[in-house]
Amino acid sequence: MTDEGAERTMQLLYALRSAGVTDPRVLTAMERIPRGHFIHGIFKDRAHEDVPLPIPCGQTISQPSVVGLMTQALQVGPRDKVLEVGTGSGYQAAILALLARRVYTVDRHRDLVLQAREILESLGLHNITTLVADGSHGLAEQAPFDRILVTAAAEDPPSPLLAQLRIGGIMVLPVGQSDTVQSLIRVTRTGEKGFDYDELRPVRFVPLLPGLGTD
Ligand code: SAH
């Protein structure tokens, strides 16, 4: 890494710690995944800043501190099978792949999935499966999941995702109307019918939309 690269990584880690990301496994994973690889064009230069940035198909790569807090709240273990809904750039999936045994990530935009797949392969991350799908239905053929992370906002936790969470499993997702401030919540499945809900913090995500995108 160049001096400038090292300094930018330090800057990012400082922003993460200031935001409350303290889990050393999460910090190490985020230090290892170069966010700049997932951003193209004029915004690439700003990859080290703690802000969301535009990616194709009118979507955004989340703010690193939010990625860090969501990953930390998910409490991913090395034996876990994880579902991510909302691949976007693939950045969050890459971080999950360093912490989990296997990651399935789905997005409704084919172009985003193809681009993310290429970047993830170029980084040598082979425990991620990328799929074009409407993630609000989950991924029944791979269920149940130990962990589910949703990176687009629904009004309520989609019931197929609750059903595909293993008992003892954790799901982290933003809920609320898309044009207002949403809440990041953590759902823990305590039994066949039992779920505990914790409200973590206000966030702002793009909406979880039905069906597939047109690109
Ligand atoms: N996790 C991403 C950021 C995601 S932005 C990253 O690290 O870059 C939210 C993503 O959710 C967008 O790419 C959008 O296309 C996707 N999305 C919205 N509704 C969806 C749905 N029903 N199923 C799958 N993906 C969806």
The predicted-structure confidence for 4-63, as pLDDT tens digits, reads as follows 778 888 889 999 999 999 999 999 999 999 999 999 999 999 999 999 999 999 999 999
DSSP 117-149: HHHHHHTT--SEEEEES-GGG--GGG--EEEEE
Are residues 72 and 96 in contact, defined by beta-carbon separation less than 8 angstroms?
Answer: no
pLDDT of residue 1: 62
Q: Output the CA 1–ligand 1 centroid distance in Å.
A: 30
Portion of the chain with pLDDT greater than 70, in percent = 99
Atom number, ligand 1, closest to the C-alpha of residue 213: 15
The predicted-structure confidence for 76-95, as pLDDT tens digits, reads as follows 999 999 999 999 999 999 99
Residue identifier of the C-alpha nearest atom 17 of ligand 1: 86
Q: What is the pTM of this model?
A: 0.97
pLDDT of residue 205: 92
DSSP the chain: --HHHHHHHHHHHHHHHHTT---HHHHHHHHHS-GGGG--GGGGGGTTSSS-EEETTTEEEPPHHHHHHHHHHHT--TT-EEEEE--TTSHHHHHHHHHSSEEEEEES-HHHHHHHHHHHHHTT--SEEEEES-GGG--GGG--EEEEEE-SBBSS--HHHHHTEEEEEEEEEEES-TTS-EEEEEEEE-SSS-EEEEEEEEE---B--SS----
Angle, alpha carbons 66-70-72 (nearest 5°): 115
User: Is 65 among the residues known to form the active site?
Assistant: no
Please work out whether the CB of residue 135 comes within 6 Å of at least one atom of ligand 1: yes
The predicted-structure confidence for 103-121, as pLDDT tens digits, reads as follows 999 999 999 999 999 999 9
Q: Which residue has the tokens 């401030």?
A: 181
Domains of the chain plus CATH, in order, are 65-203 (3.40.50.150)
Please work out whether the CB of residue 89 comes within 6 Å of at least one atom of ligand 1: yes
Q: How far apart are CA 181 and CA 204, in angstroms?
A: 6
Angle, alpha carbons 185-161-215 (nearest 5°): 100
Residue identifier of the C-alpha nearest atom 24 of ligand 1: 107
Residue identifier of the C-alpha nearest atom 16 of ligand 1: 86
Q: How far apart are CA 187 and CA 172, in angstroms?
A: 6
Question: What mean pLDDT is reported for the chain?
Answer: 95
Q: How far apart are CA 84 and CA 105, in angstroms?
A: 5
Q: How far apart are CA 117 and CA 121, in angstroms?
A: 6
Please work out whether the CB of residue 64 comes within 6 Å of at least one atom of ligand 1: no
What is the C-alpha radius of gyration for the chain, rounded to an integer number of angstroms? 16
Q: How far apart are CA 80 and CA 73, in angstroms?
A: 14
**What does the block give as tokens for 158?**
């989609």
